[in-house]
Amino acid sequence: MKNMPAVLVVEDESAIAELIAVNLRHNGFRPRWAMDSDSAQREIDDGVPDLILLDWMLPGESGLTLAKRWRADPRTKEVPIIMLTARGDEADRVAGLDAGADDYIAKPFSTKELLARVRAVLRRRAPESAGEAFTIAGLTLDSSTHRVSFEGAALKLGPTEFKLLHYLMGHAERVHSRAQLLDNVWGDHVYIEERTVDVHVKRLREALSNAGAMVETVRGAGYRLTAKPAVPIMSIQASTDRASV
């Protein structure tokens, strides 16, 4: 269930919403439904979805207004939005795209086309770093093979520590607050305390062993990964030689 992308369907016509939800569920997605602007905002507040299917004409605020608001909100500005509406002329399509929609589907539409558009938008919005590899001061992370090593020696990291290290290495030398790390690593921290970051940073340092000093605490600001930590990095070979003396 955790790997199923969550899709928020904002549609006031229950028959259309149910049809969309059934097709999404049968094709590997986790649909959520909101029938007006107020319930849609509550769903967003409860948890940011992976994609939003947004009807233009809604009770309360219009889909166009919601799209503009969500694009201006740091929590939702990167969430893909597909507009669904009976307003299919060029001016309306342009207005929807200018409001921040990633795609626009005019009613009536086929469910096959809808699913194809959903997959296409998610592919476009997928992180470009999916196959990246980083090497900093002997520490290497390969996201395509999900492997981490220090000076050639393999390290074992849990999934959350791997994601945390991936983000820190991708933004090396920058200081990140706990809130920033929660947003970028966990995705949506509505129910997660900021102190959770401290726990995982501690686990990450332990997993990195001799390279753990590269993850620095910046007092009053947050954390950063640096190639030149205040505490010198001990090479694995030097540590092994010292232990054998």
C-alpha closest to that of 53 among 123, 116, 91, 104: 104
Cα–Cα distance measured from residue 234 to residue 237, given in angstroms and rounded to the nearest whole number: 8
Beta-bridge partner residues of 10 = 34, 54
pLDDT at residue 3 in the model: 61
Q: Which pairs with CB-CB distance under 8 Å and at least 24 residues apart come from 238-243?
A: 239/210
Per-residue pLDDT, 114: 92
Question: Structure pTM?
Answer: 0.54
Q: Provide the residue-wise pLDDT of the chain in tens; the chain has 245 residues.
A: 446 889 999 999 999 999 999 999 999 999 999 999 999 999 998 888 999 999 988 888 999 999 999 988 888 888 899 998 876 666 777 777 778 888 888 888 889 999 998 988 887 666 544 567 899 999 999 988 889 999 999 999 988 899 899 999 999 999 999 988 887 787 654 456 677 889 899 999 999 999 999 999 999 999 999 998 887 776 644 543 443 33
On the question of a cis peptide bond just before residue 229, with omega within 30 degrees of 0, the verdict is no
- How far apart, in whole angstroms, are the C-alpha atoms of residue 178 and residue 212? 18
SS3 38: helix
* One-character DSSP codes across 203-218: HHHHHHGGGGGGEEEE
pLDDT at residue number 244: 37
* pLDDT at position 1: 42
Neighbours of 216 (CB within 10 A): 19
- The pLDDT, as a whole number, for residue 40 is 94
| DSSP summary character for residue 117 | H
